[in-house]
Amino acid sequence: MSAWFSTAAVLSQLRTAWDLSRTQASWLTIAVQIGFVVGAIASSATNLADRVSPRRLILVGSMAASAANLAVVAGDSLSLSASDLTINSFSFALLARLATGASLALVYPPALKAMSSWYREGRGLALGVMVGALTLGSALPHLLNVMGGVDWKLTLITVSALSAIGGLVADRLCADGPFSVGAAVFDPSQLRAIVSNRDFRLASIGYFGHMWELYAMWAWIAAFYGDIFSSGRAASAAAFAVIGIGAGGCVYAGKMSDRRSRSDAAALAMRWSAACALVIGFLVDAPRPIVLVLGLSWGFWVVADSAQFSAIVTEVVDARYVGTALTMQLAAGFTLTVFTIFLVPVVRDAYGWGFAFLMLAPGPLLGMWAMQRLSNPHGSMPITSD
């Protein structure tokens, strides 16, 4: 998953190399979200995640993401003209980032399904570890950037190699779990059945509130710390730490969800995450250690609830179409991220970081409301009949 934020980690270099505006820089991240949504909608509409082996989808998606990420490097200094259309490096990179997002739609939902097929007991922790791995992968480009003086092309090439290796590991070294079900048949009516499930809808509302906050925070936290620290390397290190610590949050919430309930774990994470969003942006002038500690707390909680929405889905829908249900939930959630990723820099430029991050807090507050109304907070094993 490291291909996701690869351009965000080197955004300052790309802005200089391609003379990008703030809006253009935002679109490099937004394009990945849009691509993911398109890929996820196509996958869910065709039941692809339940008709093809999850490990094979992960391999195909990882390889395609790797190739798309390399295309950004290959397109550098590109200038192609066709009649009235001019394609420059930025335009080509935008298309490549769309393809990256669409490719990762074949990685994330199937990975959740594959992991859930290994666990009945302890599924909350298992999916927490899965999302924790996604979190570390998302943070990894910032760690590569910490090295300093590393050309952005080398960062993207390294990330592409890691993406391809990850796909090979999933396909060649992993196996289907003992609780996996056979390949489903294409059945469009399952989309209506999934949406009519009340617990699925409430879990999805919680997930939507979570996503309103998460990716905007991840996308712009490096820029935030760029205004806190005078060194670009220090800002990248802070961004890596803040995003990466979320892996620990995922594991903590996963353990809590297995001991108590999915909804309790998710609500706790969203409560603390919302509190951090309300405060941190107004502390730009506070001592740096305070801003860093608060950022680490936000990073720990902001993603801790993520896996539990998926865990609920795997436990309340027909087991044959878990992949489709997960992909539907993710597609709708990632659609929301397009708006907040775009709005954060707009609000920041107009009113500062305080109000930019304050705008994210209503998301987790809405999610808490949904979790309080979940009728099946502890989950049940997925049903296998209509």
The Cα–Cα gap between 377 and 68 comes to: 40
Tell me the two tokens of residue 77: 């200094």
Contact between 220 and 277 (Cβ < 8 Å)? no
pLDDT confidence of residue 184: 54
pLDDT confidence of residue 377: 47
Residue 341, domain member (yes or no): yes
**Kindly report the CA angle at 138 between 282 and 228, in degrees rounded to 5?**
25
Count up the domains in the chain and report the number: 1
pLDDT confidence of residue 385: 38
Taking the chain (386 residues) in runs of 10, the rounded mean pLDDT of each run is 81 82 83 90 80 90 94 74 57 91 91 86 90 88 73 88 94 86 61 82 93 93 90 88 96 93 93 96 93 96 93 84 83 88 92 96 95 64 40
The Cα–Cα gap between 210 and 340 comes to: 12
pLDDT confidence of residue 12: 78
Instruction: Report the first-to-last Cα separation within the chain, whole angstroms.
Output: 34
Residue 210, domain member (yes or no): yes
List Cα–Cα distances, 315 to 37, 64, 142, 355, in angstroms: 23, 30, 35, 38
The Cα–Cα gap between 329 and 107 comes to: 15
pTM summary value: 0.81
pLDDT confidence of residue 216: 93
Residue 385, domain member (yes or no): no
The Cα–Cα gap between 308 and 314 comes to: 10
Residue 211, domain member (yes or no): yes
The Cα–Cα gap between 291 and 239 comes to: 12
Give the strand pairing for 79-82 and 85-88. antiparallel
List Cα–Cα distances, 321 to 16, 67, 88, 295, in angstroms: 46, 29, 42, 38
The domain that contains 341 carries what CATH number? Answer: 1.20.1250.20
Tell me the two tokens of residue 333: 């959630």
pLDDT confidence of residue 351: 95
The Cα–Cα gap between 139 and 4 comes to: 9
Residue 123, domain member (yes or no): yes
Residue 179, domain member (yes or no): yes
Residue 207: CB atoms within 10 A of its CB come to 26
- The boundaries of the domain holding residue 321 are 6-372
Residue 266, domain member (yes or no): yes
Burial of 21 (0-12, 13-18, 19+ CB in 10 A): exposed
Residue 264, domain member (yes or no): yes
Contact between 203 and 309 (Cβ < 8 Å)? yes
